Amino acid sequence: MIQHPNFSTKEWSIFEEIFQPDILAQTESIFALSNGHIGLRGNLDEGEPHGLPGSYLNSVYEQYPIPYGESAYGNPEAGQTIINVTNGKLIRLTVEDEPFDIRYGTIHSHTRELDLRNGILNRRVHWTSPAGQTIKVTSTRLVSFSQRAIAAICYEVEPIDMPMRFVLQSELVANEELLPQSKDPRSSRGIATKLLSEEHQAQETRGLLIHRTSTSGLRIGAGMDHTIEGPSSMKIDADSSPDIARMTVTAQVKPGEKIRLVKFIAYGWSSLRSRPAIHDQVIAALSAALMTGWNGLLSEQRSYLDTFWSQADVELEGDPQIQQAVRFALFHVLQASARAERRPIPAKGLTGPGYDGHTFWDTEIFVLPVLTLTNPSAVADALYWRYSILEQAKERAQQIGLQGAAFPWRTIAGEECSGYWPASVAAFHINADIAYAVVHYIGATGDLEFEEKIGLPLLIETARLWYSLGYEDNAGHFRIDGVTGPDEYSALVDNNSYTNLMAQLNLRSAAEVASRHAQAAKQLQVHDEEIANWLRAAERMFLPYDAERKITPQDETFLEHEIWDFEQTREDQYPLFLHFHYAHLYRKQVVKQADLVLAMQLFSDAFSAEQKARNFEYYEALTVRDSSLSASTQAVLAAEVGQLQLAYDYLGEAAFMDLYNLEHNTQDGLHMASLAGSWTALVEGLGGLRWQDGSLSFMPRLPEKITSLAFRLLFKKCRIRVEIRDTEATYSLLEGESIKVLHHGEEIVLSSDAPITRSIPSINARPKPIQPARREPLRRNPGKMPMQQKSGPLYDKQSVESIDKEGIVPTID
């Protein structure tokens, strides 16, 4: 059975009215809290039942050997996987002699709410034990944005109709038992890991555990302390063992009284610091949190989010479900990045172990553009992490016979972790994706100090890679052969259009920045001849084009392949990579995710309006969206070519990817790129935002059902608000000096004097394009709850039509 969460539609929260144990793992991902450093899945306070326990620290991982049937030169020897660290969330409750366990007794009500305004997870339970004792339990959980090492829980329990003896056991637990993971390659490997105990202690209200990983050599500390309110007769005990630190509160409580326990949890880790240093780091973090207090942490959390929403909020009228979904998405993108502080942003954030906690190109191309215009400091940190692994990338390039830097396709700590090189090493575009993020961050912020210290070496070493990877042919074209582009159903192709456009940008940007910072470039051994070579390669970059069909090929020979037989592909055979060997997929015209269409989004000026319309139409018929990365890009181009309803349909798919588990793997963690994509589909799609060469342009248009759309951006120290309503767009400068932007090609100058309103011209769209059989997106209809088919990213149309007015979601066999 495939089931879906039933969330009430609220503007500023995700509210679960009915507890659904069959989809507990999904909701644990959705209700996860993080600050980019600590990640806590939304497990129940008492720990059981659970779908998948999870407490994570950014970049805390374990290594494992990668087995090969046949060895080959240059294959990575070790992989890396995120690990479940010490669980500090646990608060077990015993009522008289009955454990509080919602699988037993009677649940009168059970609600959970992820509060996007305040950054907290609320839970309310009204329960009667099998022995007849009725209680109310209230908990509020946060992972602090203001104090990076801290999480906290306020837990209250009260009797309803009779005096009761309560025992609360607040714990730190290491080496939790985990269930076997799925065989889906997108899931975690679920390797058995054992944290080795180095220290354990518990005294009065405080507990501490320190462990180290057995192979990766990381030391992890977790501590807890408490403030407790309740009857004066309460008894407090503490005990510890190598994997458990426990604080126990016992009290006799009357109706009208309650126990209120505030638990402060601190984490610290390092590959270098000693056990005493980690011990002191954790104690110091607890001390600061105790001084701040629970109410202080709440206040700091709200203040942080007030600032974020003031510069990032998206408002729309006409579809309250999309409104809820885009704020949910922005909140989780913030959680994945806010306090990562020179650590990576994994594909699943810190919400689950999917993809083994690895970071991919998703970060630079899907997540960082959103953050660049909403929370740019997080972008600087993410790119600083890329800079921190630059030497490893240079070593990797040397190993595979290239100059410059070859960044890993998937990694946690900087080493390549993919054992399948056609889809990893050959996907060289990741190096230019990093350069793209550097260029756009600098263009949006004007951060010249970052440009010189971090951006310059990243651009130089990636440019060197492209110049050594490509070559100039007899016709004078600079070619890049044998690469894999964004579409992972094609591999080892010559002159992938996306890759070549990205490399062209990389080469030109490296030359420009090296010239601007000549002295710093000289220290990196850049000379005039090398800059000239980069510019020549960029100028002569080969970009394939089929003049007869007036189509841009995805790669040089893509259009020569046989088209996949979509009519004979069953619905249950999607996603294709789980049912067909790549040897079959690589020989056909079938697109897993937007590739050439993504190139048109990122390099809008490289294609004419007619080319965009023709290309979009052609690739729509081939793209099966077996990746969560695709829908947002297709939404952007659909909007640009005038297919507004189709853009709206793809917006719905991106926005509901995790809220309704459209890819069947939300239980392993949320899809950060798709979450960011819901913002992209709205702001770059319907809002028509493009930003190239350090300037902003807008070509807004709305589908019929969305009556207004407003969004805020940070750009060049200006805070801008754009509101689109009916056939007009209004631009306001909320903060900063005057700035020029384009509205449908017209230059306007924004100042603080008054908003500027312009009319929106109509567009003559081509006929609606078709999609592969059984892969078309569901037509978005506000008020209807999204659904999924038995496979793939689509929705089940028949089931959607049967949903009643209360939005109750049926199950699908």
CA angle 142, 148, 150 (to 5 degrees): 45
- Amino acid, res. 58: N
Which residues fall within 8 angstroms of residue 805, CB to CB, at 6 or more apart? none
Mark the binding-site residues for substrate, compressed into ranges.
361-362, 592-593
Mark the binding-site residues, compressed into ranges.
361-362, 592-593
* Beta strand pairing call for 588-589 and 562-563: parallel
Count Cβ neighbours within 10 Å for each residue of 614-636 and write b for 16 or more, e otherwise: bbbbbbbbbbbbbbbbbbbbbbb
Residue 65's alpha-carbon distances to 189, 194, 299, 301, in angstroms, are 12, 16, 46, 41
Report d(CA 773, CA 437) in Å as an integer.
Answer: 36
Q: Is the dihedral of CA 336, 370, 676, 724 positive or negative?
A: positive
For the sheet with 98-99, list strands across it.
98-99, 91-95, 164-173, 244-253, 235-241
Contact 57, 83 (CB under 8 A): no
For residue 224, the tally of other CB atoms under 10 A from its CB is 28
Q: Which of 96, 114, 88 is nearest to 10 (CA)?
A: 114
Residue 414 has phi, psi (to 5 degrees) of 120, -20
Which residues fall within 8 angstroms of residue 477, CB to CB, at 6 or more apart? 540, 541, 542
User: Could you please report the per-residue DSSP string of 669-720?
Assistant: ---HHHHHHHHHIIIIIIS--EEETTEEEE-----TT--EEEEEEEETTEEE
Where on the phi/psi map is residue 537: left (φ > 0), alpha (ψ -120 to 50), or beta? alpha
Question: Does the annotation count 488 as an active-site position?
Answer: yes
**Catalytic pick from 488, 620, 640, 723?**
488
For the sheet with 695-698, list strands across it.
690-692, 695-698, 739-743, 746-750
Catalytic residues: 488
